[in-house]
Amino acid sequence: MVARRWENFVLLTPAVTTDGTSGLSSFRGISGLYNGNSVDGANNTQAFFSEARGRAIIVSYVYSPDSIREFEVSASNYSAEFGQAAGGVVNAVTKSGTNNLHGDLFWNLRYPDLNALDPLGKSKGIFTQTVHQQNQFGGSVGTSIIKDKLFFFGTYDGFRKVNPILYTSTTPTTTINSFACPTAVTATQCTNAKTFITTGLLGAYPRDLKQDVFLGKLDYQLNQTNHLSAVFNWQNWAEPDGYNTAPTVNNGGVTQNGNGGTHERFFIANWNTTISTNKVNEFRFQWGRDFEFDSTNGPGPSAALLNIASYGETSALPRPAFPDEHRLQLSDNFSIVKGAHVLKMGADVNLIHEVLVNLFQGDGNYQYNGTSVATIPGTLGPPPTPPTVPAGFTGLASHRSMTRSRILGRMISITTTLARTSKIRGKCDPILR
Q: In this predicted model, what pLDDT tens digit does every residue of 363-413 receive, in sequence order?
A: 888 877 753 434 334 444 444 444 443 444 333 333 333 333 333 333 333
pLDDT recorded at residue 410 = 38
Residue 201 main-chain phi, psi, to 5 deg:
-115, -40
In one letter, which amino acid is 187? A
Q: Given pLDDT bands bounded at 50, 70 and 90, which one contains residue 255?
A: very high
Q: Which of 195, 316, 321 is nearest to 256 (CA)?
A: 316
Mean pLDDT for 208-228 is 96
**CA 336/CA 346 separation, integer angstroms:** 12
Same domain, 170 and 271: yes
Tell me, what DSSP letter sits at residue 32? G
Buried/exposed code over 407-430 (b: 16+ C-beta within 10 A; e: otherwise): bbbeebebebebeeebebebebbb
Same domain, 111 and 197: yes
In one letter, which amino acid is 160? R
**CA 175/CA 177 separation, integer angstroms:** 5
Length of the chain (residues): 433
Total structural domains in the chain? Answer: 2
The proportion of the chain whose per-residue pLDDT surpasses 90, expressed as a percent, equals: 53
Same domain, 332 and 419: no
| Pair 348, 334: CB distance under 8 Å | no
**CA 221/CA 148 separation, integer angstroms:** 7
**Is 348 inside a domain boundary?**
yes
Same domain, 352 and 378: no
**CA 68/CA 136 separation, integer angstroms:** 17
Range of the domain at 414: 365-428
User: Of 333, 357, 381, which closes a domain?
Assistant: 357
User: Of 337, 357, 377, which closes a domain?
Assistant: 357
Residue 58 has pLDDT above 90, yes or no: no
Same domain, 346 and 378: no
**Is 433 inside a domain boundary?**
no
Residue 182 has pLDDT above 70, yes or no: yes
pLDDT recorded at residue 1 = 66
Residue 86 has pLDDT above 90, yes or no: no
Return the C-alpha torsion angle 26, 27, 28, 34, nearest 10.
-80
pLDDT recorded at residue 237 = 96
**CA 10/CA 182 separation, integer angstroms:** 61
CA distances (Å), origin 286, targets 27, 231, 326, 350: 27, 10, 10, 9
pLDDT recorded at residue 360 = 84
What does the pLDDT look like over 312-329, one tens digit per residue?
988 889 999 999 999 999
Same domain, 375 and 332: no
**CA 63/CA 53 separation, integer angstroms:** 10
Same domain, 155 and 256: yes
**Is 210 inside a domain boundary?**
yes
**Is 183 inside a domain boundary?**
yes
Task: Identify the sign of the CA torsion 299, 305, 309, 315.
Answer: positive
What does the pLDDT look like over 271-304, one tens digit per residue?
999 999 999 999 999 999 999 999 999 888 888 9
Tell me, what DSSP letter sits at residue 64? -
pLDDT recorded at residue 129 = 63
User: Of 357, 375, 390, which closes a domain?
Assistant: 357
CA distances (Å), origin 327, targets 225, 228, 285, 398: 30, 21, 10, 33
Same domain, 293 and 203: yes
pLDDT recorded at residue 212 = 97
Same domain, 9 and 31: yes
Give the predicted TM-score (pTM) of the model: 0.79
Same domain, 369 and 252: no
Half-sphere exposure of 242 (CA within 13 A, CB side): 23
Same domain, 242 and 306: yes
CA distances (Å), origin 405, targets 266, 411, 414: 47, 5, 11
Q: Given pLDDT bands bounded at 50, 70 and 90, which one contains residue 130?
A: low
Q: Are strands 425-428 and 365-368 parallel, antiparallel or unpaired?
A: parallel
| Pair 294, 318: CB distance under 8 Å | yes
Same domain, 124 and 267: yes
Q: Which residues are registered as beta bridge partners of 90?
A: 37, 73
